[in-house]
Amino acid sequence: MRTSKPLPDRAGAATTPVLAVTALRKEYGTLAAVDGISFQVGRNEIVGLLGPNGAGKTTTINMILGVLAPTAGTIHIEDIDLATQRSRALARTNFAAVYAPLPGNLTVYQNLRVFGLLYGVPRLAQRIEVVIEQFALQPFRNTKCGVLSSGEQTRVGLAKAMLNAPRLLLLDEPTASLDPAAARDVRARIRELAARDTGGALWTSHNMYEVEEVCDRVLFLSRGKILLEGDPKTLPPAHGRRTLEELFIAVAREPLTLTGG
């Protein structure tokens, strides 16, 4: 079983992981949607959480967000136990997904202000200006979110997710409905933020090109378990596949053939 030992940062020094998940399990009756998984996300690291529909990705993210209570196991965000210090742990977290748009009847600025107040962001007006600039939202600050394009709404959602300068950013299919140019822009911005700040990100996607471009490491889930883990560029050939997409298909169709990898 994987443990929660400190990970080396990019300078080689030991540091506490941004996220440490240990023996995490979620049962629904006799079904284990998540079956005892353990993994970490280090600082300045983007980890891809991959797998077919029903593999347990969204259940895992919902447990990390505190939306679902685990049946067993622990979640630590910067060494803070989510189960016993929920508010402290979640204050270091934020979330963005293309299927979770912000209220459409509020302007970009109003949305950022409302969520900033909910998060208790200090010097909120100043912080709003920072994220508006980071995500090139100046032309839309007084525009209602409901009339923005899908790409513009995604950028607003990411700006909202960065308002509290989270140590752990959870991204569930953040570019799923974007055109290629907008998706490339979003990927570049998240890579830049991950490299510059001291946090990390957990990213789910079915776009294997995107995963290979963005993620430092990937975890393949199958039937609630971590089947494979490694560098998205070297993992496919290590398991006899040419591309990450071929490996994804094999995980979805023939997981038992990969367990001996």
Per-residue pLDDT reduced to its tens digit, 133-187 = 988 899 999 999 999 988 888 889 999 999 999 999 999 888 877 778 878 888 8
Question: Which pLDDT does position 16 carry in this prediction?
Answer: 85
State pLDDT tens for residues 68-94. 999 999 999 999 999 999 999 999 999
Mean pLDDT to the nearest integer, 200-225: 92
Which run of H or of E encompasses 162?
Answer: helix 150-162
pLDDT level of residue 258 (50, 70, 90 thresholds): low
pLDDT level of residue 190 (50, 70, 90 thresholds): confident
Q: Which of 219, 223, 222 is nearest to 203 (CA)?
A: 219
For the chain, residues classed under CATH 3.40.50.300 are: 1-92+170-261
Q: Where is pLDDT greater, at 255 or 64? A: 64
Q: Which among 9-13, 58-62, 181-185, 253-257 has the top mean pLDDT?
A: 58-62
Position of tokens 């007006």? 125
The CA distance from 78 to 86, in Å, is 12
Position of tokens 């690291």? 45
Which run of H or of E encompasses 172?
Answer: strand 168-172
DSSP structural state of residue 123: T
Q: Which among 186-190, 222-226, 251-255 has the top mean pLDDT?
A: 222-226
The CA distance from 83 to 164, in Å, is 21
pLDDT-above-70 percentage for the chain: 92
Question: Which pLDDT does position 28 carry in this prediction?
Answer: 94
What fold characterizes domain 1-92+170-261? Rossmann fold (3.40.50)
Q: Where is pLDDT greater, at 260 or 66? A: 66
The CA distance from 20 to 109, in Å, is 34
The CA distance from 189 to 195, in Å, is 10
The CA distance from 151 to 64, in Å, is 26
State pLDDT tens for residues 40-62. 999 999 999 999 888 999 999 99
State pLDDT tens for residues 22-32. 999 999 999 99
